[in-house]
Chains A and B, each alone.
Chain A
Amino acid sequence: MAKFALNVNGKTHSVDADPDMPLLYALRNDLGLNNPHFGCGLAQCGACTVHLDGAPIRSCVTPLSAVGNAKVVTMAGLGTPEKPHPLQTAYIQEQVTQCGYCANGWVMTAAALLASKKKPSDAEIKSALEGLKCRCGTHMGILRAVKRAAEMMG
């Protein structure tokens, strides 16, 4: 066991845990942040995706010891109903999700793309999102929402 100071969604939290424990379990169980989700524990699906200093990472395979002072942002920290991120707005407007269990992967990965690339092409969007899983088959809606968000961001 070791103590970690985690900077999550702009606040610092102290967590006492096994250094090998993936960040996902600290977020969910120690910090009570119900998103992200456990999907595979293998970095294959994206349901656990958070930003680490702005880059999308899989929290299910990222040990606490590797987080350091990096700023962690979860989907809940991306925006609020009062100040939503354009992707959150676009997701609602496009009515994207079915079960929504996968949303962290798509939203957080697309948010990182849109932060670095204005008006990405369809191919660039698909390429950035490659490998993420959605079992309900909401892919068409995801692509519509990312394009809509890109337009909103100008």
Chain B
Amino acid sequence: MTKMDKASAFSRRSILKTGGALVVSIGMPVGLDTVLGINAARAQGVKPPLTPDQLSSFIAINADGKVSAFFGKTDMAQGLFTAIGQIVAEELDVPFKAVTVIMGQTASSVNQGGSSGSTGIQFGGKQMRMAAAEARRVLVDMAAERLGIPADQLTVSDGVVHAKSDTAKKVSYANLIGGRYFNVQLEWNKKIGNQLYAPGKAQPKKHTEHKIVGQRIPRDDIAPVVFGTMDYVTDVKVPGMVHGRMIRPPVAGATPAKVDQASIKGIPGARVVHQNGFLGVVADREWDAIKAAQTLEVEWSNAAPPFPDQAAIYDHIRKAPARHRKIEKENGNVDEAFRNATRVVEAEYEWPFQSHASMGPGCGVVDVRDDKVTVWTGSPKSHFCRDGVANILGVPVAKVEGISMQFSGAYGRNDAGDACMDAAVLSKAVGRPVRVQYMRDEGTGWDPKGPASIHRVRAAIDSTGNIVGYEFYSKGFSRWDVQTNESRPERTLAGHFLGAPLKSEDMFGAPAEAYEYANKRTLWETIPPLLDRASPLRTSHLRDPVGPQLHFASESFIDEMAHAVNADPVQFRLKYLTNARHKAAIQAAAEKSGWVTRVSPRKDQTGSTVTGRGIAYAPRNGTIVAIVAEVEVDRRSGKIWARKFTVAHDCGQIINPMGLEHCIEGNIIQGISRTLWEEVRFDRKAVTSIDWMTYPILDITETPETIDMVLLNKPDQPPTGAGEPSIRPVAAAIANAVFDATGVRIRRVPFSPDRVKQSLA
């Protein structure tokens, strides 16, 4: 379907009737490279509305023939924009360097969900591929009209449409449409976010025709980082801007009862903003804002300490009434299988609250004016962040512009969006643009957390050692105490402090493995949050939400089953799998690592340092990862060195192997960190993980010697995600390797030296 505006709005020259379709808009030949250019053009009423059913919402050809790709997702630091540029360049038949990907700007892109669920390429790239293919189709049709040659006798090289038989018969994209907007309607599925899909009539290229997709193209944003010229959201400076800092209650749930404004009167320009439970300060200079926040004398309401002793957290989870119960999958008759079992194996695993602990604590800049609100944001979901600012201020979304900026890695719903909400409230109160950056203690002390949980797994084994029944049960805090974006006040700290209740929703999940046991049940239960208002232990999505904990349990337990029946862990897995791609990933990792078939644990080691190997595998939304970990355990100190990893990774078609390798390395390192070190500490009153000493992460002295990879490229398959899948099996691979080395099964994360030493004692 194409859209026709009033004919009178078009100059004759710019209208081309192609197959009954009016395909070109009019307009001044403006440069579209920058968002500013787009605004200028729109002000002339030239651009079609910024809606998902318009091709112009995704692709524009500039006057010089260069391509702007407007992408409604963001890149949380893994170089996604390079892959998107490759996809767009490929479909349009332009050089890679001719494409600029403009990400996450609410003024120039539609809401494709931001960074979310490793869908940047899987969904976002799919849409950009379809849009670019449609743009090429439309341009070729226009050229057909212009050259008087049927479209099927034309081809495109480097942005020039020419006759297949005679390259002299040609017209460039720049000449056809450069500087004007497409006016082509797409078949939008009426969804926004990750599920947005709006193809045109064009079919994308066959993979055998790909020349740019699949190439190792380096990202070009490393140079500005190392030369110190990259602008992060933290670097935004707006005329008249003041600095804000927040004051959080010392006991979670307490509110400021009395605020002594006089206590900061010696600090130049310092002002208090106190609304309900919301308490912040602003000052012209950043250091003064920090001093004011530290100096301000506040009397807090008496609030009963809301948390259990940390040592009792797993008992709390076991005993708490389930708020919601969901059976994810059930086949066969599980209860009967257990009744008839020769033997039952059972184990329980525990996973702590974990923090995003972003390098840069949350930061945002908001300028609230009567006619317009601007938010400079490092939120992974800039469109939702814009919506949140509109909602917390009570202004129409159309009045708010979200400018997406580079920030430190988020790894899910971190505190970057919360900082924007705080800045919005402060800016409205003081009538100036406000920059808020949290201090370190807020960065780990108050970001949304990955939920703590327990996982009880049992297997029914028959007399011949076959698994005839299996049950995987999880119980924990929901992963959605606050939703995965900050679009509504009840999802934000500022909203909670202003009085919006925390609306915890029920969501957990089940392992994604594809083992085919005859009688199998997976289920989960969620429990209420520990505090029903602004809480430093409220949960939300942390990289691969609940994936590491579910597969820590399920992939540890399959080794426990293998051990119970004297089977090799690789062979045992393959026995229960039929999916060829799943089996191939496991076999590839095993083979590349030099896996020797035998039963765990090793029994040939003496001395204080022992070594072992372990395997784990997990699918995630179409991607399959298998990992072999090799570890050294110092039995005296309890220290684990995860020395070597071999990763087999199948995410369908690989767009950029270089980007993928870096992405996998980051997943493995962060996965080791979460397994060996990470646990949010808290006491009865508050979170006590408030810096890098109290929330330790993996140190460079502990990094592996080697991370080997087997990239299982499937060019004929659609690309799936890579941002999270390879973190998923890391904990279990390490746990299985530790068992292989020591004969001791560790079922609680993190495997800190103290805990390992205790387990080995």
Contacts and interface: CB of A to CB of B under 8 A. Distances in A.
Contacts of B17: none
B174 interface: no
B227 A99 contact: no
Interface string A8-48: 00000000011001100100110011110111111011010
B439 interface: yes
Nearest to A140: B665
Contact of A44 (B286, B662, B691): B691
B339 interface: no
A96 interface: yes
B226 A107 contact: yes
Given A25-B286, A29-B286, A101-B232, A41 B439 contact: yes
Nearest to A64: B287
Contacts of A132: 700
B480 interface: no
Interface string A105-135: 0010000000000000000001101111111
Interface in A84-99: 84, 87-88, 91-92, 95-99
B38 interface: no
Given A140-B704, A141-B665, A76 B228 contact: yes
Interface string B677-705: 00000000000000111000111110110
Interface residues of A, number: 60
Interface string B440-458: 1001000000000000000
Contacts of A29: 285-286
A112 to B, nearest CB: 15
A101 B703 contact: no
A81 interface: yes
Contacts of B77: 97-100, 136
Contact of A97 (B222, B290, B360, B700): B222
B78 interface: yes
B580 interface: no
A17 B360 CA distance: 24
B243 to A, nearest CB: 8
A103 interface: yes
Interface string B351-395: 000000111110000000000000000000000000000000000
A123 B361 CA distance: 31
Q: Which of A37, A84, A139 has the most B CB atoms < 10 Å from its CB? A: A139
A74 B226 CA distance: 10
Given A91-B222, A100-B77, A143-B703, A74 B697 contact: no
A75 B226 contact: yes
Interface stretch (B148-156, B202-210, B403-411): B403-411
Nearest to B671: A137
Contact of A133 (B237, B286, B692, B701): B692
Q: Which of A17, A47, A133 has the most B CB atoms < 10 Å from its CB? A: A133
Contacts of B227: 75-76, 79-81, 84, 88
B667 interface: yes
Contacts of A129: 700-701
A126 B360 contact: no
A127 B701 contact: yes
Nearest to B659: A95
Contacts, number: 179
Given A100-B222, A135-B411, A140 B707 contact: yes
Contacts of B361: 38-39
B692 A44 contact: yes
Interface in B285-316: 285-288, 290
Nearest to B288: A18
A91 B225 CA distance: 10
B705 to A, nearest CB: 9
Contacts of A39: 359-361, 408, 440
Contacts of B667: 137
B433 to A, nearest CB: 14
Interface size class of chain B, counting residues whose CB lies under 8 Å from the partner chain: 35 or more
Contact of A101 (B360, B669, B700): B360
A15 to B, nearest CB: 11
Contact of B226 (A38, A88, A127): A88
A142 interface: yes
Contacts of A41: 290, 439-440
A107 B665 CA distance: 19
Interface in B420-470: 437, 439-440, 443
Contacts of B666: 98, 136-138
Nearest to B438: A38
Given A81-B227, A96-B222, A135 B409 contact: yes
A55 B357 CA distance: 28
B265 interface: no
A100 B437 contact: no
Contacts of B590: none
B692 A135 contact: no
A57 interface: no
A113 B703 CA distance: 19
A140 B226 CA distance: 17
A6 interface: no
Nearest to B235: A34
Contacts of A150: none
A25 B703 CA distance: 32
B222 A136 contact: no
Contacts of A32: 237
Q: Which of A25, A33, A102, A137 has the most B CB atoms < 10 Å from its CB? A: A137
A81 B220 CA distance: 13
A69 B664 CA distance: 45
A137 B226 contact: no
A99 B226 contact: no
A135 B704 contact: no
Contacts of A21: 287
16 contacts: A22-B287, A29-B286, A32-B237, A41-B290, A76-B227, A76-B229, A84-B227, A95-B218, A95-B662, A98-B77, A101-B232, A104-B228, A126-B700, A134-B700, A137-B666, A137-B698
Given A45-B692, A99-B406, A139-B700, 12 more contacts: A42-B691, A44-B692, A81-B223, A92-B222, A96-B222, A99-B407, A99-B409, A100-B77, A101-B408, A135-B408, A135-B411, A137-B667
- 9 nearest A-B residue pairs (beta carbon): A76-B228, A137-B669, A100-B225, A101-B408, A99-B77, A35-B228, A98-B77, A34-B235, A137-B666
